[in-house]
Structure 1
Amino acid sequence: MLLLKSLLTWLLILCLAVANGALREVVLIPSIGKSLGFILSGALLSVFVAFVAYAFVRFQPGITVSQGFRIGILWVCLTLGFEFSFGRYVQHKSWAELLDAYTFKDGNVWPVVLLITLLAPYFAALFHAKSRHAKSGC
C-alpha cells in the first residue's frame, strides 16, 4: 500500500513539475530572463517537492527514515525515467540535448531539484520521527 501511495504522490509531483515548467517557459523566462527563470523555477519546484514529501510523510503514520530514503530513490528513478522517455520519444530530443539539463548551463538547477527529490522524503521522515519522539516525552 505504501508503494501505491508513493506512486500516486509522485504523480502529484509530476503534475506540479509540468505546471512549473509551463510557468517557467510562459512567464518567468520572458519576464526575467533564461538564467533567473531557470533558477527561480528550480527553487519553486524544490519547495513544492519538499512540501509534498513532508505532507506525504505526515499523513502516512509510521513511515521510517529508511522507508523515506527508499521513497526518495523511487521518486528520482521515476522522474529520470519520465524525463528521458518523454524527452526522447515524445519530444524527439537527442541524448546530448537531454543531458544538457544536467550541466547547470544557463542557470538550470535541475540536478539540485533531483537531489531535493531524493532527500526530501528522508528528511521529512527524520523530522517527523523526531517530532513524534519529542511529543512522547522521550
Structure 2
Amino acid sequence: METVLKYTVSWLGLVLVAIINGALRERGYRQLMSELAAHQLSTVIGLILFGVYVLILTRTWRIASSGQAFAIGGIWLALTIGFEFVFGHYVMGHPWSRLLHDYNLLKGRLWVLLLIWTAIAPFTFYKLQR
C-alpha cells in the first residue's frame, strides 16, 4: 500500500512533465507547423517523457506485482482524466466540446494514446524489470 501511495503522489510529476511539454509546444514548434501536427508531435514527445519518468520511478520504487502495477496505472488514469476535465472546464472555462475534441482519433487527435500509456506504463516497466 505504501508503494501505491508513493506512486499516487508521483502522479504530480506527470502533471509537471505535461505542463513543460505543453509550454515547449506553444512557445516553440507550434509556430512552425499546423495545430494538428503540433498536437501530434507533442503527444509523441509526451509519450517519451512519460516513459522516462515512469522508468525512473520504477527503478526507485519497485512495483511488487502486476496487480499493483495495474492499480497504479488505473489511479493515474483516473487522476489524469479527472484533472483534465475539472481543470479544463471549471478553471480554464473550456467548453466540454473542446475538451472532448482531443479524443477523436479519426481526426488525427492522439491524446488518447497518452492516456493509454499513462494507464499501462507502470505494468510495462514492471514486466520489463522482472
TM-score by length of 1: 0.86
Whole-Å Cα distance in 2 between the matches of residues 48 and 68 of structure 1?
19
Corresponding residue of 2:104:
103
Whole-Å Cα distance in 2 between the matches of residues 5 and 32 of structure 1?
39
Whole-Å Cα distance in 1 between the matches of residues 22 and 63 of structure 2?
33
Paired residue type of 1:53 = V
CA drift of 1:3 comes to 2.8
Whole-Å Cα distance in 1 between the matches of residues 62 and 11 of structure 2?
18
Contact 2:3 2:63 survives alignment (8 Å): no
3-state SS in 1 of match to 2:74: helix
Task: List runs of 5+ in structure 2 lacking aligned partners.
Answer: none
Corresponding residue of 2:52:
51
Whole-Å Cα distance in 2 between the matches of residues 93 and 58 of structure 1?
38
Contact 1:34 1:107 survives alignment (8 Å): no
Matched, 1:94 2:95: yes
Paired residue type of 1:52 = Y
Contact 1:35 1:106 survives alignment (8 Å): no
Q: What is the number of equivalent residue pairs in this alignment?
A: 129
Whole-Å Cα distance in 1 between the matches of residues 35 and 58 of structure 2?
34
Contact 1:34 1:106 survives alignment (8 Å): no
Whole-Å Cα distance in 1 between the matches of residues 101 and 63 of structure 2?
39
Matched, 1:66 2:67: yes
RMSD: 1.6
Corresponding residue of 1:79:
80
Contact 1:57 1:125 survives alignment (8 Å): yes
Q: Percent identity?
A: 30
TM-score by length of 2: 0.90
Paired residue type of 2:118 = T
3-state SS in 1 of match to 2:102: helix
Paired residue type of 2:33 = I
Whole-Å Cα distance in 1 between the matches of residues 21 and 41 of structure 2?
10
The higher radius of gyration belongs to: 1
Deviations 1:77-125 (Å, cap 9, x if unpaired)? 0000100000111111111111111113764310001011111111100
